[in-house]
Amino acid sequence: MTKRLLDALRWLVFAAAAFAMNFPVISTFVTSLKGEAEISASPSLWIQRPTFDNYRAIFAMQDRFDILHFLGNSLVASLLGSVFAILLAFPAAYGMVRNEVGRKWLLPLVVNLRAVPLIIFAIPIYLMYQNLALLDTRLGLALILCLVNVPLALVLFATAIAELPLEIEEAARVDGADTRRLLIHVVAPMSLNIIAATTVLAFIYSWNEFLFGLMLTTSRATPVSVGASFFFAASGGGVRWGVAAAVMILATLPPLLLGLTMYRWIGRSMTAGAVKG
């Protein structure tokens, strides 16, 4: 009897924790389905008259409030940033593990990079971008997102490659494969799981990046994490809370869905390096 009571209590605590920690998204979602009049009349979590008006209103907005433009920027920059990070980190991880080059200095340097606030490099990067005409471009943003993701990708790949059986690679060498072909046709196919998990994680982190998006873009390449805040700037008739809420749900949906559906693959990678340090 006490065991069942304890189990019930556990479910209760789980529900309370899940509700409290996910509250921002839940509450914002509720608001996004209310009309403007209802939002100011009753901010409660109950929706009297559900409506999709806010979502419809967003797509009618233009210029500084063009949500599709922001979403597109985020999509392109995040995809490029993730792919760049993987293309740089995968061969490097292989070289570190199998050729034992840079394992003593480059690996710890990059891993510890995660503990250094990147804002330290932000000002020179801004000035450099100004000179290279990379300010307010998706490519410029993607390069920074790559920088943000390289440490995680390197740790994940180095760990995964070290666990691969050497025999297969040796057999391929005997058959005359050079390193490039070995990487593409043998090592990468064996590492597909970790490459996929890293891509998803890197994409989520890129999508959610804010500081560099704020500093390095003004309009053409503004990512949605920054663009969403435009909807909070009271213009004319004040903030349209329903529209702002709907914008945030749209901006949050891609990483949220990825996280929910891919949890089994990325769950362990999210804390990688945390325990091994």
Partner 1 sequence: MTVSNFKRSLRREGYALIAPLTLFLLALLGFPLVVDIVYSVSRVGFENIRRPELSGFGNYAKAIADREFWSAAWFSLRFGLLASLLEVSLGLALAIFLAPLLGKRSWLMAILMLPMMVAPALVGLMYRLILHEFVGVAPYYLDLWFGDSPAFFSNDNAFKTLVVVESLQWTPFALLILHSAYAAISLDVREAAALDGAGAWRRLVYIDLPIMAPAIAVTFFIRFIDSFRVFDNVYTLVGAGAGGATTSMSIYIYQAFFKAGDIGLAVAASMLLLGGSFVILFAVNWAGARAARA
Please select the residue that binds partner 1; options are 20, 133, 174, 192, rule is CB under 8 A: 20
Please select the residue that binds partner 1; options are 54, 78, 137, 252, rule is CB under 8 A: 252
Site string for partner 1, 26-65 (x = CB under 8 A): -xx-xx-------xx-xxxx--------------------
Spatial contact of 219 and 172, defined as CB atoms under 8 Å apart: no
Considering only residues 107 to 136 of the shown chain, the ones binding partner 1 according to CB under 8 A are 110, 112-117, 119-128
Please select the residue that binds partner 1; options are 204, 216, 221, 243, rule is CB under 8 A: 204
Shortest reach from residue 81's CB to partner 1, in Å? 12
Alpha-carbon span 154 to 85, nearest angstrom: 9
How many C-beta neighbours within 10 Å does residue 268 have?
11
Please select the residue that binds partner 1; options are 186, 221, 241, 243, rule is CB under 8 A: 241
Q: Does residue 248 belong to the site contacting partner 1 (CB under 8 A)?
A: yes
Residues 6+ apart with CB under 8 A from 172: 182, 185, 186
Cα separations in angstroms, 271 against 21, 43, 88, 152 = 19, 37, 21, 10
Applying CB under 8 A, the span of 47-55, 58-66, 168-176, 202-210 interacting with partner 1 comes to 202-210
Alpha-carbon span 272 to 266, nearest angstrom: 10
How many C-beta neighbours within 10 Å does residue 99 have?
10
Please select the residue that binds partner 1; options are 21, 37, 139, 196, rule is CB under 8 A: 21
Q: Does residue 18 belong to the site contacting partner 1 (CB under 8 A)?
A: yes
